[in-house]
Amino acid sequence: MICWKSFQATNVQGGIVEQRMTANIGEITERSEYLRRIVTVTALLGEQGLPLCGHREEEESLNQGNFLETIKVLKQFNPFLQTYTAPSNATYLSSESQNELITCSSKVITNKIVKEMTEAKVYSVMADEARDGLCEQLAVCVHYVAPDGEVKERFLALKKLDHFDAKPITDAIEEVIVSNGLHGLTCLAQAYDGASVVRGAKGAVQARFREKHPQAIYVHCYAHELKLVLCHTCKAIPEATEFFELLESMYSFFHLSLVHHDKFADVQKHLGLDNSDLIQSSKTRWACQLQSVKAMLNNFPAVKQSLESIHTAVAVGLRSKLCKFTTVYMLAMLKHLLSIRGTTQVSAEGNCGPCTSTTVQNSCL
């Protein structure tokens, strides 16, 4: 009879699971609201390219990292966080939870990219090596046309490389394609730099990749080709080579010595100029050349006066070169030439970012 009465009560009030769900509906709602704020902070920091974890995240640490510090600030102005106390086993604030949230976010973004590629049915692959400290990685990107007609270039994955010959590089690219379920789509092109390990006709990456993707023609990155043209052009013009060497020497002179850097900042303040530093030139990121020229032009009076106040042989030599007519002319001319934007464009960082069309990707030289 007890069992029978319990069965009748279950039909009226619902099962044990339903009763527990009803009793805990408020707690479930609160946890969802709490987690929504945690995910929002994670997405914000990720979108801004900021690290989440701190070096020390203990309570006594003065800086617990961007994630925890942002949560603290949000708590000051958010009534819900001020009144809600998360269970000790579900705070989602530990470094492990932060990494798990980052991983979940990356999967959501990657799935969206893969979905668009699946609808497009064809794509091209781009890859280049990138060193992070002592770890060599292969950055794999894809290029495709979205259903709305927009041409998209998206980063897909980083793969660690233990060896740098053709087979490991090809295997890494193929692993990214297979792991994301893209092996059923048609790859029409592959784009890399001009290194022999990728461009060779036999045994290189492009040849090995075409064994599984026969339609994927190899395209030498146009941004990389343009970079080579610029480098060779400057090497053929002694004045240009000497000019960029002078900019590099100026950067080193004011940045490798705190005394010289402080003197430069004081002169800027005395002349009423904005406090800004000189920018280092780069042989591969050609956008840095334009930034370096602009920085020198904007700070020309401060640089000249700083060199005059520093009584060393190096300062005297740099000031002599800076005040030459050739240097001033090169500053004005190269600012104009490097600022030209045309129909052919280079990647925003000016490096040899891979591309697959006759129009070089992104902007600008």
Are 195 and 278 in the same domain?
A: no
Picking from 21-35, 177-191, 314-328, which range would have the lowest pLDDT averaged per residue?
A: 21-35
Quick: pLDDT tens for 158-199: 888 888 888 989 999 999 999 999 988 999 999 888 778 888
User: For the residues 197-209, what does the mean pLDDT come to?
Assistant: 86
Q: What is the pTM of this model?
A: 0.63
Residue 243's domain comprises 226-338
Segment 256-269 shows an average pLDDT of 90
Q: Helix 300-309 to helix 287-298 angle, to the nearest 10 degrees? A: 70
Measure Cα distances from 255 to 125, 259, 337 in Å. 40, 9, 27
Considering the domain architecture, whether residues 183 and 271 belong to the same structural domain is answered as: no
Could you tell me if residue 358 is inside a domain? Answer: no
Residues 6+ apart with CB under 8 A from 349: 285, 287
How far apart CA 242 and CA 247 sit, in angstroms, is 9
Q: How confident is the model at residue 15 (pLDDT cuts 50, 70, 90)?
A: low
Residues 191/183, Cβ–Cβ less than 8 Å: no
Q: Tell me which residue of 299, 260, 259, 256 sits closest to 278, measured CA to CA.
A: 299
pLDDT, position 339: 78
What's the rounded mean pLDDT across residues 30-48?
Answer: 91
Looking at the structure, tell me whether residues 155 and 240 fall in a common domain.
no
**More confidently predicted of 235 and 312:** 312
Query: Residue 29 falls within a domain, yes or no?
Result: yes
* Whether residue 327 sits in one domain with residue 234: yes
pLDDT at 363 over 50: no
The pLDDT value given to residue 154: 92
Total domain count, the chain: 3
